[in-house]
Amino acid sequence: MIQCQRINNANASLAERERLSGTLFPDDSQAHVLLKTCNRIELYWGEGDISSDIIRHLYRVASGLESGITGERAIQGQLKNAYLEACEKYKLSSQLHKLFQTAMHTGKRVRTETRIAEGAISHSQVTVDILKKENVNLKQKVVSIIGVNKLTEDILKFLTDKQAVNIFLSNRNFEKAQTLAQKYKGTAIRMDNKKDMLEFTNVLICATSAPHTIIKEDDIADEKEMLIFDLAFPRDVEPALANRKGIRLFDLEDVEQFARNNISLRNNEIKEAEQIIEEELHKFSEWYNYTKYRLQA
């Protein structure tokens, strides 16, 4: 029996996902696929029968219908990477192979045959939109980014396009910070010096993979004014900072809510996507029934 355990944005808040994330421990001796993103931790394992609920759910995930920002594209790459990593490490059952291969195919169909991704945006783009709405003068403000990854590089591209001149980049691996900072004419700062960096920072963007908060309340002076984007899961910034005068803190849920408030996705596009998912679910059922019949013959 194919089984699935999941903790995601549909059944748990950001705080609950942080608390529960440590309770989902895959057994490394058992073949499985582990999908981890900022919105979800999902574990798939087993062989044999598979419920339509599990198939439909993963198809919806691959299509961006279960994302915090509906239609976002990043999930397809994350799903593919999770599957390929599992393939390298384990001998997966034929049913798990088929499930993930058809999920990726379904996600591609949805994005090709509907306009679900038209206007769909990433967390980096929403961060940029909020900066625009806040009328931040990027030529005069100091922007500090903690974390080196695709998300932060996308933000760096925008800052460079807007001729931001005071950009600081920090990362646990200082060499990675140096490489990215040089590419976008920024300055790399060692994490050991983060408190000094925060003293002159006006806009702080955090997106690391650290398992714990890296920005504490006492890292930022009481009178300091700062716009903070915490795009990490688990969170990089202590939530209590949001209560401090002069601090405006946006976490993942805030960013996703901003996107939902500013993007109208037509219902017929979602309906078309769901129709494709049902078609692919039917194909999967036909494949499984045929395979099962041949094994029994």
Scored b (16 or more CB within 10 A) or e, 184-214 reads: bebebbeeeebeebbeebbbbbbbbeeeebb
Look up residue 74 and give its two tokens: 């990043």
Asked about 4 being catalytic, the answer comes back as no
| Number of other CB atoms surrounding residue 233 within 10 Å | 21
- Active-site option among 4, 38, 87, 206: 38
Largest alpha-carbon pair distance within the chain?
Answer: 76
Surface-to-core class of residue 90, CB atoms within 10 Å of its CB (0-12 exposed, 13-18 middle, 19+ buried): middle
The secondary structure of 150-211 as a DSSP string is HHHHHHHHHHHHTT---EEEEESSHHHHHHHHHHTT-EEEEGGGHHHHHHT-SEEEE----S
Catalytic residue IDs: 38
